[in-house]
Structure 1
Amino acid sequence: MTALVDEHPRLGVECVLRELHIPSSTYYRWRRAEREPCERRRRDTELTEQICTIHADSGGIYGSPRVHAVLKREGVAVGRKRVERLMREDGLAGVRPRRKSGFTRRDPKAALAPDLVNRDFTAPAPNRLWVSDLTMIPTLEGPVWLSAIRDAFSRRVVAWETSARADADLVLTTLEYALASREAEPGQLIHHADHGCQYTSVKLATRLVRAGVEASMGSVGTRTTTPSRRTCG
């Protein structure tokens, strides 16, 4: 309402208040509050400055629980919910901790493909053996999952993709990129991965069959029969 009066000063304050049925005392109280912020608003400003300092000193890692703990240790009386609100309003967030559960969890109901590699990560020619794996990369915005497929012959990455979720769609997308970038002959290529639930999904198995690629499952981070070559970890 104060904005309306400011935009149309020629109308007169009393006329506007009378038409809107707003007491003049209410209007002038609003005006006073604009000039003199209330105590809670001033306190929020002070707390936000302290929170920003603590968050910056932590390297952007601390979330609201840790920030609240630091404030409490420094003798600042403030509720945790208030800290959460102020951090949210200022766009501050901490780094989510790494999950303790592995991202290659095995699905006990899934049918596993045989291990056609048996720790021999060598190949006589390109596009004969691809080794696929998932890796978590911690970032300030949270964990990012990297899915990659490497050719055992050249040790080069055939395709890779990232996602915020380590699911079957991520490994399937990586496979699609690999198939599109290489001319693999049906019946000549083996796709090797671990026993993670992403690699035992029906959608991935179906795509491998359609492409004429044999599925192999077993250990991924193992030695090759040629010690001078790097393993496909």
Structure 2
Amino acid sequence: MSVARFIADQRTKYRVPHAFTCVLLGVSVSWFYKWIARAGNADGLHTDTDRCRARLDAAVASAFTAARGLHGSPRLIADLRDLGWEVSEKTVADSMRRQGLVARRIKRRNGLTNQDKTAPKFPDLVKRDFTAAAPNLKWVGDMTEIPTECGQKLYLATVIDLYSRRLLGAAMGLHPDAELACAAITMAVAARGGRQAIWRDEESERVIFHTDRGSTYTAKAFTTLCRTVGIRQSMGRVGSIMPPRRRFSPRWNGKCCPAIISVIPFMRRRWLSTGAIPSTITNAGTVPPTGYRPSTMRSGNPRPSRKRHRKPSTISGEPQEVVAVAQ
């Protein structure tokens, strides 16, 4: 309760004069009557700061709803800046706290990696260097289980390019088998222009596809397809294809996709178009993978750079105009 509201309530409930309560609380009577005059506004807000905060709260709530409750303050701030707001992460977090908005937390599940000890193994060509200086040098793949409301489990196989973190291929099915992995890698090859676009005569220059040692990726059908399209397979140890801080394919599978699927009722089994799912790269300053350019990289470091706040946050009265420059 505000001080002015407390003073007004003392007279309404206990017939205590305004002047007497103002003296006891150490505030001026003129300030209190100015507050009463502002209280007559149609919007019920007393100061310009209150009105700016109300507009920001409305923008945060709208962005939170548009993201289906999946984005916290770090991602909502990127959405708001696209709309022209100049705010910091703390300001957005305070707005979410006032409105009781909490992003959904993703439950971690056990992996699907089942190693076939009789199948041939492939060497680790990545050597825990999960960066790429150009497209079509290093791809990573993973498979995850997605529960649905109808009780039927679905399985998703993905292929991601380590250069831009772009999701090149995704396939969903009822069984985590080699056929599903083949569908994902086929889509990825098509997204890059087909076999002719990625084929290299020198085997050492071909695309590296790094996965875990699951039987899905060691099956004969999958290994034959990789050789046919000109892809070199690379494998890490069981259950871990990447270091914890640089998990790109498991991160998309284990966090983004199940979060989106979990808020959509499954009256029937269907898949969403990847183009309809807003995707950003956290460690590239929320740059979409399809719009990634080498200019976002530090000199001498192939990894995307992280953007920092350059000035303290302010709540602008109105969103500033955003001018889109054609690339």
So what's the TM-score if we normalise by structure 2?
0.38
Question: What's the counterpart of residue 205 of structure 1?
Answer: 223
AA partner of residue 137 (structure 2): R
**1: CA distance, partners of 2:141 / 2:111:** 16
Superposition deviation, residue 196 in structure 1: 0.5
**2: CA distance, partners of 1:214 / 1:202:** 14
Provide the alpha-carbon RMSD of the alignment: 2.0
Q: What per-residue deviation string (whole Å, max 9, x for no partner) do you get for residues 90-114 of structure 1?
A: xxxxxxxxxx985210001011100
Superposition deviation, residue 221 in structure 1: 3.8
**2: CA distance, partners of 1:163 / 1:156:** 21
140, 153, 171: which one aligns with 1:143: 153
Rg comparison, structure with higher value: 1
User: Identity over the aligned pairs, expressed in percent?
Assistant: 37
Conservation of the 8 A alpha-carbon contact between 2:130 and 2:242: no
Question: What's the counterpart of residue 220 of structure 1?
Answer: 241
Conservation of the 8 A alpha-carbon contact between 1:152 and 1:232: no
157, 161, 177: which one aligns with 1:167: 177
185, 189, 206: which one aligns with 2:199: 185
Conservation of the 8 A alpha-carbon contact between 2:158 and 2:249: no
**1: CA distance, partners of 2:198 / 2:169:** 14
So what's the TM-score if we normalise by structure 1?
0.52
Q: What per-residue deviation string (whole Å, max 9, x for no partner) do you get for residues 121-171 of structure 1?
A: 111100111100001111122211010000000011011010011000000
**2: CA distance, partners of 1:156 / 1:177:** 13
| Mapping for residues 4-43 of structure 1, pairs under 5 Å | none
Question: What's the counterpart of residue 323 of structure 2?
Answer: none
Higher RCO by CA contacts (8 Å cutoff, separation 6 or greater): 2
Conservation of the 8 A alpha-carbon contact between 1:129 and 1:153: yes
- SS of corresponding position for 2:221: helix
Give 5+ residue unaligned stretches, structure 1: 1-99
Q: Does 1:116 align with 2:130?
A: no
